[in-house]
Amino acid sequence: MSEEIINYLEESNVNYQFKVVLSPLIHRGERQIRIDFPKNEVLIKAVRQIDGASWSSSNRCWYVQNKPDNLKRIFAVFKGLAWVDAKALFEKKEERADVRVKPIKEGILKKEISPETQEKLEQLKQWMISKRYSDSSIKTYTESLRTFFRFHYDKKIEEIENGDIIRFNNEYILRNKYSNTFQNQVVNALKLFYRIVENKKLDPERIERPKREKKLPNVLSKREVACILKAPSNIKHRAMLSLIYSCGLRRSELLNLSLNDVDSGRNLLIIRNSKGKKDRVVPLSDKTIHMLREYFKLYKPIKWLFEGQNKGEPYSEGSLESVFKIAKRKAGITKPATLHWLRHSYATHLLESGTDLRYIQEILGHKSSKTTEIYTHVSTKSLQKIKSPFDDIDF
């Protein structure tokens, strides 16, 4: 960072109640600025004003691309609200303890792509918008492609061959120990790009994909779930966590619920435009409906079922994550549980209570029954009936 920026940072900080900590982060193959601060709706609203700022569920923080202009914007939006500690950004590479992946080798990526490449990425983006891809999918694809083309900055798009994808996998993804998921994202993005923009001049179908990791879903016991749901003293927080578990919701599904999505007369919850652009209905228990009525009487939301501090605005993802984190700590749960564990636990507990897999598939909104079948591997109902031959051995 330049001396001008350092001076700007020093002049911007005074004594404040809150502290915002900035540190380096590698995310989705890009250098980012990690932004950490205590849960506060005012600070969350401020960080949303930074163009390009996003919430990372995997890193559990806000982040924005690491460049001087963004650093200035961070200090500008937090000025008067919080003290910004950016010293970690100026540490030497060998002193950085919080960079979670191997630093990118200097010179491996060019800073920017060419105007011609940028224009073609915009073509793909507009096509995806017209096909109504989700914002997250558009961002994932364009960022993956941007990283790939920055790696091959010395080649024109039409000169890219299958061997260049293999070299990118070996020299960038594997070298920096990025995930299988990121590697698959790049291949998917290239397939779409060359089919739509370049008329399929490249054949990524011939590129071997990494083997999919077969991880089991993480599950909490009913007792652990009960402790977490009882922990919040705030009825709004308790209602949000309870609805996620009692209906097996994804985080985004809960936050996108409107008042009209609760059909208390038929004991149903309507999930609209969820993953895969699908609607579905899930059963609502009487106990859940009673809790929602108590919550509604107290908070009186006007548009979204769960709103933030400002009426008419949906509750933020970051705040919901904080609610779960605090509830888990109060409950004394030491497992590295995340909000999504409640959905996994709901599905597993349904299976253990005898619910047919086909119904669980419909309730969760799974496209394939194979996705739902993973819960059979963590259900203890059948496993506990198995008698170990060790019990029959006499010593």
Domains defined for the chain, CATH in brackets: 3-95 (3.90.1150), 115-206 (1.10.150.130), 222-380 (1.10.443.10)
- Of the pLDDT bands very low, low, confident and very high (cuts 50, 70, 90), residue 382 is low
Residue 315 pLDDT > 70, yes or no?
Answer: yes
CB 254 within 8 A of CB 320: yes
The pLDDT value given to residue 35:
92
In angstroms, the CA 115 to CA 30 distance is: 19
Residues 59-75: b if buried by 16+ CB within 10 A, e if exposed: eebbbbbbeeebbebbb
In angstroms, the CA 199 to CA 142 distance is: 18
In angstroms, the CA 310 to CA 313 distance is: 6
Average pLDDT of every residue of the chain = 80
The pLDDT value given to residue 235:
93
- Of the pLDDT bands very low, low, confident and very high (cuts 50, 70, 90), residue 76 is confident
| Model confidence, pTM | 0.56
- In this structure, of 185-189, 197-201, 218-222, 346-350, the range with the lowest mean pLDDT score is 197-201
> How long a stretch of residues is the chain?
395
Residue 199 pLDDT > 90, yes or no?
Answer: no
Q: Which is more confidently placed, 229 or 309? A: 229
The pLDDT value given to residue 202:
59
The pLDDT value given to residue 9:
47
The pLDDT value given to residue 293:
94
- Summarize pLDDT for 135-160 with one digit per residue, the tens: 888 988 999 999 999 888 888 888 88
Short-list 36, 55, 132, CA closest to 320: 55
In angstroms, the CA 212 to CA 361 distance is: 21
- Catalytic (active-site) positions: 250, 275, 340, 343, 366, 375
- Of the pLDDT bands very low, low, confident and very high (cuts 50, 70, 90), residue 8 is very low
- Summarize pLDDT for 77-103 with one digit per residue, the tens: 888 788 888 877 876 443 333 333 334
CB 100 within 8 A of CB 29: no
DSSP secondary structure letters along 285-348: -HHHHHHHHHHHHHH--SSBSSB-SSTTSBPPHHHHHHHHHHHHHHHT--S---THHHHHHHHH
- In this structure, of 106-115, 285-294, 376-385, the range with the lowest mean pLDDT score is 376-385
The pLDDT value given to residue 386:
58
Average pLDDT (254-279) is 87
The pLDDT value given to residue 60:
80
Q: Which is more confidently placed, 285 or 368? A: 285
Short-list 349, 354, 347, CA closest to 374: 347
What is the four-CA torsion angle of 91, 92, 97, 98, rounded to 10 degrees?
Answer: 60
Token reading at 278: 């699908």
Average pLDDT (275-290) is 86
